[in-house]
Chain A
Amino acid sequence: MVVNWWSSERRIPVSNCYWIVAIVFLLAAPSAFAARIGDLSETTVLEQAARFFTFQDPAVRMALIGCILLGICCGLLGTFIVVRQFALVGDTLAHAVLPGIALGYLWSLEKAPLPLFIGAVAAGIIGAVVVSLIRQTTKTKRDSALGIVLGGFYGVGILLISIIQERYPRDVAGLKSFLFGSAAALNESDVWMIGIITVVSVVILVLFYGQFKVVSFDGVYARSIGISAQFFHYLLMLLLAWAVVAALQAVGVVLVSAMLIIPAATAYLLTDRLHWMLLLSTCFGILVAAVGAFLSFLGPNLPTGPFIVLTASAVFLLVFAFAPRHGLVSRWWRRLKQTRQITRENSLKAIYHLQEAGGFAEEWITIEKLSEQRHRSAEETQQEVTSLVKHGLVLRDGNRLQFSPTGKSRAAEIVRNHRLWELYLTDRANIAPDHVHDDAEKIEHILGEETIRRMEESLNLPAVDPHGSQIPQVKKEVTS
């Protein structure tokens, strides 16, 4: 068991190599002009898009590298956030770093990465500790404790920012970019900081992947093999605070949690395996961060954070609708197919009943009789018959029908399932014979060969159902 989770982790670092190549490419691309991204007075949307895609502007390159890195960082961490149901912890931490940012800014009175980083991480960790303390020492529940820290710390942060703003009015513009994010304001030292954070986070996650996995899914088992759940909880909180700081400049305090939750939730819709989820979530993170940054370049004064979040929610909606297994459309399609199959099987059953009523003397049944038996209109019956013929279940001769060989055996199976189930319920579950029909009507389409065999054994190959009808014997080779 212990070996298993070590062996599965080796796949991650290999798949993450591509982004390093992309970043090296971006850094090495030739630079043509070095205007600030903010200088938009003379450009149109198209020129701006061209400027983005040629990667010749160093500011665009910085912004894009920053977004790719934060996509990686948030995508990886977000996976653990979503599977551990910590989504709102991420939100709380994201708001709680604000006082740290304000103090870090005050330290140097500019956007120096290191003081901001230290301040934000310290505030985030203090926030996480305060949440735990409130929960341990009082009867306050988890959600209220999170709410207190989220709102309270944010209030302290805004108080500090407004004091700084009053004192140094012209400097504070840089600080405000932390609230809604501005990828255009990313400079080289910011990107270095985000890069270091991302690399260290990835290394820690890869080194302790097994431990994180066990702690996330089975805390009791983790403790039994000597992994400290508390240590890894706080390590996760630390990494989370880092991810928040990495995403802060591009996405902003208020919306950082979206960057953690939405790509990971999107990946969660597509896969059941943790390592695939990590990979997909990272890809979605990079995609939405880059596309969001691009969109916010297209016009003047467009905040980056909201565009990244809206891109992420658009991707989420697409996957939510079209995911192969869990998507709305595929589920709807499966249900439609099942409904149609049930309709066909009910028609087969009706034909069988008609033949049975005539003592199986006459194999040909008229369509009028079928529509009478099924309580359907003539058109509906015509449609059902067409569908049956298309699936090769009945043979049609003008106005008359007869089973094809496959149709006959399927009809017998359905009727057998129905009657066997009725008998099973009356015999074994002591349900009155007049109460079992509706239940059998639903189960008859689903019962598999194996279940039927076991039911027949347990009922000693019965011949008659509780209502006195013959249970048809289906001669069919059990494929094994």
Chain B
Amino acid sequence: MIPEFDWGVFLSEPWNSYQIETTMKIVGMGFLVSAACGWIGVFLIVRRMALIGDAISHSVLPGIVLAAMLFHTLSGPWIIIGAGLAGFLTTVFIEWIQKHSRIKSDAAIGIVFTSLFALGIVMVSQMKGSVHLDADCVLFGNLAEVATRNGDFILPPNMIQAAIVLGLTILLSLMFYKELLVSSFDPILARSIGIRAGLVHYGKMAWLSVIVVTAFEAVGSVIVIAMLIIPGATALLLSDKLRVALVLSLVHALLSSVIGYHLALWLNSNIPAAMVVAGLLLFGLAWVFSPSQGIIPVWMARRDFSERIALSRSGRK
């Protein structure tokens, strides 16, 4: 079932001169996608909106399919507009249901995103034409194909788009760092210094939709959730500082892409899923060994503390 572990195949072969270009492209695409997801994921996690990320990553599907039906492409501005619109509508619907009925936010999220996702799947199942978009793509993504596709430039078009999106994500969040920080942690202060929290929220949701749609063709619309949450969660286990956590989420994205690619080569499996599993392993390591919150350091600190208490008691006697 599991292929024999061969260090040569597993580690060195992808980096020899014949395969290095493919490796670089696939790992690079994986990194670009999960870095952008992880970066915005940090902001989602600190606002406790991880599951809104889940909802949006599902509910952009009808927007993507509609744009793909009309414009016969899975990259470029139309698909981003379609997905941004779907993401915006999701947020509006969720708030609308909450406002006009007694249904609480979690159930409202559940109703809206499953309905939109179901609509998207029905549209996918009826789709015929030049664009390669089917249920498999939604569930698994096809990272390898997307990353090695030929375009007008040296790099494949999706990769250029992902790079631009990552760059803009970092640039925008640094430009509006103060707004994001204050509206994340202190909405009242935000209002008093003239930051419109609602505007920041909708802007963030729209940009999240853009990131999700960029990742869509490479990793599908379910695996994106893992890429949104796991890097940020790992980073926030290791540091309490937002800036440090943001950098750590990039490190996590890089490591999980590289390790995941090797894992996929060894197991002969789906690449994005392997990257998620690698990310999950890194999260597990941080969970066990994180200096401030890890299971072992916390356990050791508690043991030292109780020993000290025992010592001071015996000393007093």
Q: Is the CB of A144 within 8 A of B229?
A: yes
Contacts of A141 in B (CB 8 A): 45, 48, 50
Q: Is the CB of B101 within 8 A of A151?
A: no
| Distance of A137 Cα from B107 Cα, bound (Å) | 27
Shortest Cβ distance from B103 into A: residue: A265
Contacts of B275 in A (CB 8 A): 155
Interface core residue of A155, A166, A254, A262 (most chain B CB under 10 Å) = A155
| Distance of A309 Cα from B104 Cα, bound (Å) | 19
| Distance of A45 Cα from B132 Cα, bound (Å) | 28
Among B101, B119, B290, which residue has its beta carbon within 8 angstroms of that of A326? B101
Q: Is the CB of A163 within 8 A of B269?
A: yes
Interface size on B (CB < 8 Å)?
Answer: 62
Given contacts A152-B226, A310-B118, contact A137 B295 (CB under 8 A): yes
Instruction: Kindly state whether residue A63 has any CB partner on chain B within 8 Å.
Output: no
CB contact list, A293-334 vs B, under 8 A:
301-303, 305-307, 309-310, 312-313, 316, 320, 326, 328, 331
Interface string of A142-170 (1 = CB under 8 A from B): 11111110111011111101110011000
Shortest Cβ distance from B287 into A: residue: A138
Q: Is the CB of A140 within 8 A of B233?
A: yes
Among A144, A254, A306, which residue has its beta carbon within 8 angstroms of that of B122? A306
Q: Is the CB of A258 within 8 A of B118?
A: yes
CB distance from A266 to the nearest CB of B (A): 9
Shortest Cβ distance from B263 into A: residue: A159
| Distance of A395 Cα from B104 Cα, bound (Å) | 50
Contacts of A407 in B (CB 8 A): none
Q: Is the CB of A82 within 8 A of B107?
A: yes
Instruction: Kindly state whether residue A465 has any CB partner on chain B within 8 Å.
Output: no
Q: Is the CB of B270 within 8 A of A158?
A: yes
Instruction: Kindly state whether residue B274 has any CB partner on chain A within 8 Å.
Output: yes
Given contacts A179-B135, A269-B103, contact A152 B280 (CB under 8 A): yes
Given contacts A138-B293, A151-B229, A162-B270, contact A306 B107 (CB under 8 A): no
Q: Is the CB of B97 within 8 A of A320?
A: yes
| Distance of A150 Cα from B53 Cα, bound (Å) | 12
Q: Is the CB of A106 within 8 A of B109?
A: no
Q: Is the CB of A90 within 8 A of B110?
A: yes
CB contact list, A187-246 vs B, under 8 A:
none
Contacts of B48 in A (CB 8 A): 141-144
Q: Is the CB of B114 within 8 A of A143?
A: no
Contacts of A148 in B (CB 8 A): 226, 229-230, 233, 280, 283
Shortest Cβ distance from B57 into A: residue: A151
Among B53, B101, B118, B290, which residue has its beta carbon within 8 angstroms of that of A305? B118
Instruction: Kindly state whether residue A87 has any CB partner on chain B within 8 Å.
Output: yes
Q: Is the CB of A151 within 8 A of B228?
A: yes
Interface string of B34-68 (1 = CB under 8 A from A): 00000000000100111101100010000000000
CB distance from A268 to the nearest CB of B (A): 6
Shortest Cβ distance from A310 into B: residue: B118
Instruction: Kindly state whether residue A86 has any CB partner on chain B within 8 Å.
Output: yes
Contacts of B267 in A (CB 8 A): 159, 163
Instruction: Kindly state whether residue A249 has any CB partner on chain B within 8 Å.
Output: no
| Distance of A204 Cα from B298 Cα, bound (Å) | 39
| Distance of A320 Cα from B290 Cα, bound (Å) | 47
Q: Is the CB of B226 within 8 A of A155?
A: yes
Instruction: Kindly state whether residue A88 has any CB partner on chain B within 8 Å.
Output: yes
CB distance from B260 to the nearest CB of A (A): 9
Contacts of A262 in B (CB 8 A): 110-111, 114-115
Q: Is the CB of A152 within 8 A of B283?
A: yes
Contacts of A91 in B (CB 8 A): 51, 54, 110
CB distance from A51 to the nearest CB of B (A): 21
Among B135, B229, B268, B273, which residue has its beta carbon within 8 angstroms of that of A147? B229
Q: Is the CB of A316 within 8 A of B125?
A: no
Q: Is the CB of B49 within 8 A of A261?
A: no
CB distance from B282 to the nearest CB of A (A): 11
Q: Is the CB of B139 within 8 A of A258?
A: no
Q: Is the CB of A159 within 8 A of B273?
A: yes
Q: Is the CB of B273 within 8 A of A140?
A: no
| Distance of A142 Cα from B117 Cα, bound (Å) | 24
Instruction: Kindly state whether residue B241 has any CB partner on chain A within 8 Å.
Output: no
Q: Is the CB of A95 within 8 A of B222?
A: yes
Q: Is the CB of A268 within 8 A of B125?
A: no
Contacts of B228 in A (CB 8 A): 147, 151
Q: Is the CB of A146 within 8 A of B51?
A: yes
CB distance from B12 to the nearest CB of A (A): 22
Contacts of B114 in A (CB 8 A): 255, 257-258, 261-262, 309, 313
Instruction: Kindly state whether residue A467 has any CB partner on chain B within 8 Å.
Output: no
| Distance of A328 Cα from B276 Cα, bound (Å) | 43
Given contacts A85-B106, A95-B222, A162-B273, contact A258 B115 (CB under 8 A): yes
Q: Is the CB of B111 within 8 A of A159?
A: no
Q: Is the CB of B110 within 8 A of A261?
A: yes
Among B53, B101, B102, B280, which residue has its beta carbon within 8 angstroms of that of A156? B280
Q: Is the CB of B225 within 8 A of A151?
A: yes
Contacts of A154 in B (CB 8 A): 222-223, 225-226, 276
CB contact list, B258-317 vs A, under 8 A:
267-270, 272-277, 279-280, 283, 287, 290, 293, 295, 298
Contacts of A367 in B (CB 8 A): none
Instruction: Kindly state whether residue A401 has any CB partner on chain B within 8 Å.
Output: no
Interface core residue of A85, A138, A262 (most chain B CB under 10 Å) = A138
Interface string of A100-116 (1 = CB under 8 A from B): 00000010000000000
Q: Is the CB of A269 within 8 A of B102?
A: yes
Q: Is the CB of B125 within 8 A of A303?
A: yes
Q: Is the CB of B111 within 8 A of A316?
A: yes
Given contacts A88-B106, A144-B50, A147-B233, contact A255 B117 (CB under 8 A): yes
Instruction: Kindly state whether residue A139 has any CB partner on chain B within 8 Å.
Output: yes
Instruction: Kindly state whether residue B88 has any CB partner on chain A within 8 Å.
Output: no
Instruction: Kindly state whether residue A26 has any CB partner on chain B within 8 Å.
Output: no
Contacts of B2 in A (CB 8 A): 163
Q: Is the CB of A163 within 8 A of B229?
A: no
Instruction: Kindly state whether residue B154 has any CB partner on chain A within 8 Å.
Output: no
Contacts of B100 in A (CB 8 A): 320, 328, 331
Contacts of A303 in B (CB 8 A): 121-122, 125, 135
CB distance from B231 to the nearest CB of A (A): 11
Instruction: Kindly state whether residue A424 has any CB partner on chain B within 8 Å.
Output: no
Q: Is the CB of A306 within 8 A of B118?
A: yes
Known: A139-B293, A262-B114. 11 other contacts (CB 8 A): A86-B106, A140-B233, A146-B50, A151-B230, A155-B275, A155-B279, A158-B270, A158-B272, A261-B111, A309-B118, A326-B101
- List 12 interface pairs A-B (beta carbons < 8 Å), by A numbering: A85-B104, A88-B110, A143-B48, A144-B236, A146-B50, A155-B276, A179-B135, A258-B114, A268-B102, A268-B107, A269-B101, A306-B121
Chain A interface (Cβ within 8 Å of chain B)? Answer: 82, 85-88, 90-91, 95, 106, 134, 137-148, 150-152, 154-159, 161-163, 166-167, 179-180, 254-255, 257-258, 261-262, 264-265, 268-269, 301-303, 305-307, 309-310, 312-313, 316, 320, 326, 328, 331
